[in-house]
């Protein structure tokens, strides 16, 4: 396998990618231009089909942000950067700070910690996980950003954090490749594997591949914002539960695990001897999040109708009323997620 990559100093990132120096799973090609935004929903499309950038639901056969199966080299991005930008603030507010302390303890006791941390961010998107986590960890850090989308990789590298919690230097490297090919060898020397909103778009085999790679490399994994299948809207509507159930079924299309992925991942890590901790990380969306809520609603309802076409007529009324309440500042939404911290047994035999 040919190995190249773009490696950049996060403190000195220019507007264009840096030189190719280190190993990767596949060629790193990072153009300077971003992807074309998805077509916005209009009054003529009251219940849009789930489409790129519209929210948390891909079209059938698509995977958001990370494409795990081989396609052509010119695959379009799975999420528009506009959607990822909208959700970054609520994502950061939702992620569990309670898992950071046990993670810090593990990282502080890693062999070779004095040389700095090496953190692999899987399905990095525009890099929001690094911007959230790097300033919460002490010591020099080198982030390895993995994604299939070269445009998102470029955005992630340009906007990566420059300093750790204690002011230590943060550097970044991009790797364009398939997370489904992840192995313990790819993670050799890794201090931590992290990902955000990834588990629920994987199937059982892909989760086993991810877990095998992490436990085989003996490194902890922090996997945040996995959907768990529960949504609360205030004020309530009689159609809420039916839409939620249809959406959850849509998330399980094909062989994806959707809201079942978190439990599957916990069981897989535990079966391989890892210590597993889970903590809730719900989105709590209010009037200040109206733009995100509106986009999420379109994707959520659109996926439900795609799964159950007989819902289209009542769903059109439902979506119109929900969007109106959102615009008026009268709608609040809780989208439940959970974060997973898996502390694998170090390969040198030290205690976990």
Q: Is 234 helix (H, G, I), strand (E, B) or coil?
A: strand
Residue 150 lies in a domain: yes
- What is the DSSP code string of 3-44? ---EEEEGGG--SS---B-S--SS-----SSPPPPPPPP-TT
What pLDDT is stored for residue 54 in this prediction?
30
Q: Which two tokens stand for residue 159?
A: 């906007």
How far apart, in Å, are the Cα atoms of 302 and each of 76, 130, 189, 306? 20, 30, 43, 6
Q: Cα–Cα distance between 200 and 240 in angstroms, integer? A: 21
Residue 241 host element (H or E): helix 240-251
The answer for residues whose C-beta is within 8 angstroms of residue 89's C-beta and 6 or more apart is: 289
| pLDDT for res 271 | 97
What domain count does the chain have?
1
Q: By residue range, what is the domain housing residue 266?
A: 6-36+58-228+256-282+336-343
Whether residue 276 lies inside any domain: the answer is yes
Q: Does 18 fall in a domain? A: yes
In a domain, 136, yes or no: yes
Distance (Å, rounded) from C-alpha 210 to C-alpha 189?
16
Nearest-5° angle of CA 280, CA 202, CA 126?
Answer: 75
Instruction: Give CA–CA dist 324/141, Å, rounded.
Output: 45
Q: What is the DSSP track for 284-349?
A: EE-GGGHHHHHHHHHHHHHHHHHH-GGGHHHHHHHHHHHHHHHHTT--EEEEEEEEEEEEPPPTT-
Judge whether 82 lies within some domain: yes
Residue 336: other Cβ atoms inside 10 A: 17
Q: Map tokens 């159609």 to a residue.
A: 239
CATH number at residue 62: 3.40.50.150
Tell me how far apart the alpha carbons of residues 80 and 60 are, in angstroms, rounded to a whole number.
17
How confident is the prediction along the chain (352 residues), in pLDDT tens digits per residue? 333 333 333 332 222 222 222 333 333 322 222 333 333 444 444 554 433 223 333 333 333 333 333 344 444 445 677 888 889 999 999 999 999 999 999 998 877 666 799 999 999 999 999 999 999 999 999 999 999 888 889 989 999 999 999 999 999 999 987 777 788 888 988 999 999 999 999 999 999 999 999 999 999 999 999 999 999 999 999 999 999 999 999 999 988 999 999 999 999 999 999 999 999 999 999 999 999 999 999 999 999 999 999 999 999 999 999 999 999 999 999 999 999 999 998 776 444 4
Please indicate, yes or no, if residue 233 is contained in any of the structural domains. Answer: no
Residue 183's pLDDT is 87
pLDDT at residue 114, as a whole number: 67
In a domain, 43, yes or no: no
Give a yes or no: residue 12 inside a domain. yes
């Amino acid at each position: 396998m040919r190995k190249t990559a773009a490696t950049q100093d996060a403190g000195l990132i220019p507007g264009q990618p840096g030189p190719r120096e280190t190993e990767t799973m596949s060629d790193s090609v990072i153009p300077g231009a971003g992807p074309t935004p998805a077509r916005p929903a209009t009054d003529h499309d009251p219940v849009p089909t789930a489409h790129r950038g519209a929210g948390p639901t891909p079209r059938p056969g698509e995977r958001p942000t990370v494409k795990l199966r081989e396609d052509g080299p010119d695959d379009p991005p799975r999420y528009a950067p506009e959607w990822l930008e909208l959700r970054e603030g609520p994502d950061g507010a939702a992620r569990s700070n309670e898992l950071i302390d046990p993670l810090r303890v593990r990282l502080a006791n890693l062999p070779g910690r004095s040389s700095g941390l090496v953190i692999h961010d899987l399905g990095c998107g525009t890099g929001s996980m690094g911007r959230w986590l790097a300033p919460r960890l002490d010591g020099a850090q080198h982030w390895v950003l993995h994604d299939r989308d070269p445009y998102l990789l470029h955005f992630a590298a340009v906007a990566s954090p420059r300093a750790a919690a204690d002011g230590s230097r943060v550097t970044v490297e991009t790797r364009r490749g398939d997370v489904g090919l992840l192995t313990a060898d790819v993670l050799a020397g890794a201090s931590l594997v992290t990902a955000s909103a990834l588990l629920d778009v994987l199937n059982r085999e892909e989760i086993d591949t991810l877990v095998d790679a992490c436990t085989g490399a003996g490194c902890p994994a922090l996997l945040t914002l996995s959907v768990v299948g529960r949504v609360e809207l205030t004020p309530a509507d009689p159609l809420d539960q039916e839409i939620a159930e249809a959406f959850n079924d849509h998330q399980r299309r094909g062989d994806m695990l959707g809201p079942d992925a978190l439990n599957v991942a916990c069981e897989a890590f535990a079966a391989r001897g890892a210590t597993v901790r889970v903590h809730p990380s719900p989105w709590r969306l209010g009037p200040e999040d109206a733009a995100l809520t509106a986009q999420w609603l379109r994707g959520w309802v659109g996926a439900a109708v795609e799964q159950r076409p007989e819902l289209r007529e009542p769903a059109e009324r439902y979506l119109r009323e929900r969007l109106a309440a959102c615009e008026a500042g009268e709608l609040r939404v809780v989208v439940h997620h959970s974060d997973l911290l898996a502390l694998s047994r170090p390969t040198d035999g030290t205690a976990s």
